[in-house]
Structure 1
Amino acid sequence: MPPRSQPSERHRRLGAELRKLRLSAGLSGDQAAALIDADRGRVSNIEAGRVDVPRNGLHKLLRAYGCTEGPLFEGLMAMAQDRGKGWWDEYRGVLGQPALDLAELEAGATRVRMHESSAVPGMLQTADYARAMCTMAADEVTDEPIDRGVEFRLARQRIIERSPGTPYHAVIHEGALHTLVGSADIMRGQLRRLIEVARLPHVTVQVFPFSAGGFSAYSRPFALFGGPTRELDTVRLEQPLGSVLLHDHQYVDRYSAIFTKLTELALPPVDPETRPESHEGRDSLTLIHHLMYAMQ
């Protein structure tokens, strides 16, 4: 099979982890190739995510690299065995590879922590809100791409709607809830959706209020995806020209600390089991209710 021209994020991540382990073990590409009866070029392609490595070959490499059986070993073996086929494949050729990578990353995450400063996270959007967002982002307003984009965004939500759902924690800046997307009716429906989805036992929604200062703006939008082990966690940063994925421990630890700080500064989480008027202090639920009733 010829090398892939567009490796998925899963393929690239597996290759990057193997390269990191090989270098840490002090082995050359030629030495690694000898372990699996291949040439150096194949090892380079494996580490670039362009070709797969057979289960037996991966087992030999991990052993030689000093990666003993445990969470990381099992996590890498699972990544290699995963054929990468999922519901997102039907959007191949319609949406770009970054969107497909995001869906696969979400589907395999053990938990998701999200900070959004300018819009409601896609995982929590209503169909109307998603359509308004896709329309604003479209270069040309044509029904089919927008329809497919909305469909794709809603399909991503299955990771929190299924049972058991993936633990999901969102910290959303108050400014995102003030921003009129589409119409007042769409915004009221979207705010109602935030309260409804917070009823799920594995979903936590917090609002970062204006009164908490500028830390949210400093941190910028990002998401943390938990892997089967800490070494396989991923940070996703939103950039004007696309997203950036970070894997190094220093970045994961840094953004984990930032997220913890955001949760401390944000209002207490939405608790839909209690009525907002019964709350003694200000919290995310009372703020969302206030905005929902004040929306013109």
Structure 2
Amino acid sequence: MEQLAAGRKTARTPTWRKTMPPRSTPSERQRRLGAELRKLRTRARLSGDEVAALLQADRSRVSHIEAGRVDVPRNGLYKLLRAYGCESGPLFDALMDMAHDRGKGWWDEYKGVLSRRALDLAELESGAISIRAHESAVVPGILQTEDYARAVMSSVEPGNGRLDPGVNFRMGRQRILAGLRSYHAVIPESGLRMMVGNAKIMRRQLLRLIEVARMPHVTVQIFPFEKGPYSTFVRSFLLLGGVTSELDTLYREHPTSADFIGDGDTIADYARMFEELASMALAPINPEAAPEDQEVQDSLSLLQHILYELR
């Protein structure tokens, strides 16, 4: 009887328990999936031991899943989401897709060349449906020309052997712009007046902003000097809109690090700050506007004025 019981136990043991050991450096997508599963488990008031029993695994396996260190197979994830009360719909589908996304993309060629955070950002951008961007000093990376990007990056890390890959990578990120539902950037006037490279590079960059603003889903606003230091105080950030609001991500870049934040309250705070920035900024660039429509200064008229000064 003991041998039969042991045999039955072995037969019920999932093969995924014998997979590769936990990864030491999960991607941001893998970490985020684990964090969302932990949120759902907590909301369902299930303990780690109860989930381990459901998966026929030990408690450590659950911890690894929620830290993004190991994957969970499709049938196992389905069981978890049902046990957590996650109904069929956008969030359910998105989590299933996140779990079975292999994380492969154009950014793979930069592995070992650029930082993990850069690759994570590119992957998250590729899965976003909307982006709200605020830059406190320069033009946002997705809107930069190649010469402008090179000038910015060479001023930060002169002589760095990663300059060319870094510029190419930044240009590669721009491919997502056409596929977004919406892109909204607020750029400080100082970011347009600061000489990056030379006057020729700056003129091309400012013309690029007008060109991009012709895309129907792109909004570009300038935050003028006369509105005070609020733009500088808020500093730079990206709000990446997921297929469902639960999967929105805040990205904050610092001189030597970066944060990817999925906390709903923090994201809501930054969303309110972005709305405040947009309300204080000049009306969006509208390249099709007639001269008589510009009686009140807007982003386009300020941009044209700066272009004239660069002659």
TM range, normalised to the smaller chain?
A: over 0.9
Q: Using the alignment, how far apart are the partners of 1:289 and 1:241 within structure 2?
A: 35
Equivalent residues in 2 for 1:1-296, closer than 5 Å: 1-138=20-157, 140-142=159-161, 145-160=162-177, 162=178, 164-276=179-291, 279-295=294-310
State the shift of 1:277 in Å.
Answer: 6.7
Unaligned runs of 5+ in 1: none
- 1:25-67 deviation digits (Å, cap 9, x = unpaired): 2212121111112111111111111111111101111111121
Q: Using the alignment, how far apart are the partners of 1:110 and 1:141 within structure 2?
A: 33
State the shift of 1:276 in Å.
Answer: 5.0
Q: TM-score, normalised by structure 1?
A: 0.95
State the shift of 1:165 in Å.
Answer: 3.8
Q: Using the alignment, how far apart are the partners of 1:109 and 1:276 within structure 2?
A: 36
Q: SS of the residue aligned with 1:157?
A: helix
Alpha carbons 1:9, 1:101 under 8 Å: kept: yes
Unaligned runs of 5+ in 2: 1-19
Q: Using the alignment, how far apart are the partners of 1:243 and 1:294 within structure 2?
A: 35
**RMSD, aligned CA:** 1.4
Q: TM-score, normalised by structure 2?
A: 0.90
Residue 32 to residue 180, structure 1, CA distance change in 2 (3 Å): same
List, as ranges, runs of 4+ consecutive aligned residues in structure 1 with deviation greater than 2 Å: 139-142, 274-278
> Between Structure 1 and Structure 2, how many residues are aligned?
292
Structure 2: which amino acid aligns with 1:255? Y
Structure 2: which amino acid aligns with 1:149? G
State the shift of 1:6 in Å.
Answer: 1.2
Structure 1: which amino acid aligns with 2:120? D
Q: Using the alignment, how far apart are the partners of 2:181 and 2:31 within structure 1?
A: 23
Q: SS of the residue aligned with 1:293?
A: helix
Structure with bigger gyration radius: 2
Alpha carbons 2:249, 2:261 under 8 Å: kept: yes
Query: Equivalent pairs: percent with the same residue?
Result: 59
Q: Using the alignment, how far apart are the partners of 2:96 and 2:227 within structure 1?
A: 44
Q: Using the alignment, how far apart are the partners of 1:141 and 1:71 within structure 2?
A: 43
